[in-house]
Chains A and B, each alone.
Chain A
């Protein structure tokens, strides 16, 4: 699986959009980009994933560059409850693919 690079920490004002970047320059054509988050002391939570098209769900939007070497997770209106570590993971879809968690980005939403 491709390696990912994320900033260690970011701050965001409550109510504003949080834009979390991820570099994955060695991504292969059949690898998806996944985002998970882990709120303190809880189990990780799946957010969104995509292959090459932008994706949106009730939690977030995922923007993948045309060359697929980087992506951005967007939380459109961040709240204090969005304070968490956000993990960007690249993986092929297949049976029982285990996730490789890096160190992620600590997002702190400020009041």
Chain B
């Protein structure tokens, strides 16, 4: 039981490059989330998926797209990376019966 896994752990991009952050959970949770955390700041929600086949914008969705591939997987795509997207990205899955969320280890992204 790995919980929530994220790949890659670290990534360096040049401005304008694209990439996809992968997230998978093995807890059979319906809901999944993508957050970003800038240095010294709290987490901010980018997108979330209440269930397979649905996605909704969070607080800071601009510059990102998401795909809920199946119940286990929720990916985050940066189409044209910008330095302002340098951050740590956390994926989470949620037990909706108790509203508790379980987080992955994060992806540290630097955009030059």
Interface residues on chain B, size class: 20 to 34
Give the one of A45, A92, A99 with max B CB within 10 A.
Answer: A99
Kindly supply a per-residue 1/0 record for chain B positions 50-70, scoring 1 wherever the CB is within 8 Å of any chain A CB and 0 otherwise.
110000101000000000000
Give B residues with C-beta under 8 Å from A. Answer: 4, 30-31, 33, 42-45, 48-51, 56, 58, 88, 90, 92, 94, 96-106
By the criterion CB–CB under 8 Å, are B103 and A95 in contact? no
- Closest A residue, CB atoms, query B33: A98
> In the complex, what distance in Å separates the CA atom of A32 from the CA atom of B96?
13
Count of chain A residues near B, Cβ 8 A: 24
By the criterion CB–CB under 8 Å, are B100 and A95 in contact? no
> In the complex, what distance in Å separates the CA atom of A92 from the CA atom of B99?
8
By the criterion CB–CB under 8 Å, are A96 and B106 in contact? no
Q: How far is the CB of A4 from chain B (nearest CB, A)?
A: 11
Q: How many A-B residue pairs have CB under 8 A?
A: 65
Give A residues with C-beta under 8 Å from B. Answer: 32, 34, 36, 41-46, 49, 87, 91-99, 101-104
Give the one of B50, B101, B105 with max A CB within 10 A.
Answer: B101
Q: Pick the residue among B44, B99, B101, B105 that contacts A42 (CB under 8 A).
A: B105
Residues of B within 8 A of A45 (CB): 103
Known: A94-B96, A96-B50, A98-B45. A43 touches B31 (CB 8 A): no
By the criterion CB–CB under 8 Å, are A96 and B94 in contact? yes
> In the complex, what distance in Å separates the CA atom of A98 from the CA atom of B96?
10
- Closest A residue, CB atoms, query B32: A96
By the criterion CB–CB under 8 Å, are B103 and A34 in contact? no
Residues of B within 8 A of A97 (CB): 94, 96, 99
> In the complex, what distance in Å separates the CA atom of A96 from the CA atom of B30?
8
Give the one of A34, A46, A87, A91 with max B CB within 10 A.
Answer: A46
Q: Pick the residue among B50, B51, B96, B103 that contacts A44 (CB under 8 A).
A: B103
By the criterion CB–CB under 8 Å, are B99 and A102 in contact? no
> In the complex, what distance in Å separates the CA atom of A91 from the CA atom of B96?
12
Q: How far is the CB of B39 from chain A (nearest CB, A)?
A: 11
Residues of B within 8 A of A103 (CB): 42
Residues of A within 8 A of B104 (CB): 43
